[in-house]
């Protein structure tokens, strides 16, 4: 019995220590930006987390609307426009790379990812506001 308990404790400790492997991106990475590839990874991971959360918000808002309501189409159009707007982040990235579409420099992907992260952050605030207003 004692042997099983010690193995169980070891497994639990191992899972706790491996938490970063299976967890979402830690926003702590924003405090350690310094230019380069790790910035791109930070922003990209956080953006992915936001996209997942925003999709859930969108689904909740959409489910709260009456069938056939004109606002369903407006919400769908908004989400589609947000997805399309990400391409404009390429302008910032490419401007910094003398208008090259496939820059080699390690800072240029970070510029794109920062822009995309900020756009998804604004989208999330908008969706949260819609959800909150819909409940009042």
Q: Which residue segments constitute the domains of the chain, with CATH numbers given?
A: 27-135 (1.20.1270.180)
Q: What is the pTM of this model?
A: 0.74
- pLDDT tens digit sequence for 44-64: 899 999 999 999 999 999 999
26 by Cβ neighbours in 10 Å (0-12 / 13-18 / 19+) ranks as middle
What confidence tens digit (pLDDT) does each residue in 83-114 have?
Answer: 999 999 988 888 877 787 765 555 678 888 89
Asked whether the beta carbons of 93 and 104 are under 8 A apart, the reply is no
What is the longest distance spanned by two Cα atoms in the chain?
Answer: 67
At CA 53, angle to CA 51 and CA 59, rounded to 5?
100
% residues pLDDT > 70 (the chain): 76
């Amino acid at each position: 019995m004692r042997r099983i308990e010690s193995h169980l404790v070891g497994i639990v400790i191992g899972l706790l220590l491996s938490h970063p492997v299976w967890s979402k991106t830690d926003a702590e990475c924003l405090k350690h930006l310094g230019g380069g590839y790790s910035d791109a990874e930070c922003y990209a991971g956080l953006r992915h987390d936001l996209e997942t959360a925003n999709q859930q918000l969108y689904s909740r808002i959409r489910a709260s609307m009456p069938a056939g309501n004109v606002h369903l189409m407006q919400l769908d159009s908004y989400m589609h426009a947000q997805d399309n707007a990400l391409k404009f982040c390429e302008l910032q990235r490419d401007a910094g790379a003398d208008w090259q579409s496939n820059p080699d420099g390690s800072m240029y992907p970070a510029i794109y990812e920062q822009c995309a992260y900020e756009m998804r952050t604004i989208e999330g605030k908008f969706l949260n506001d819609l959800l909150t207003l819909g409940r009042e």
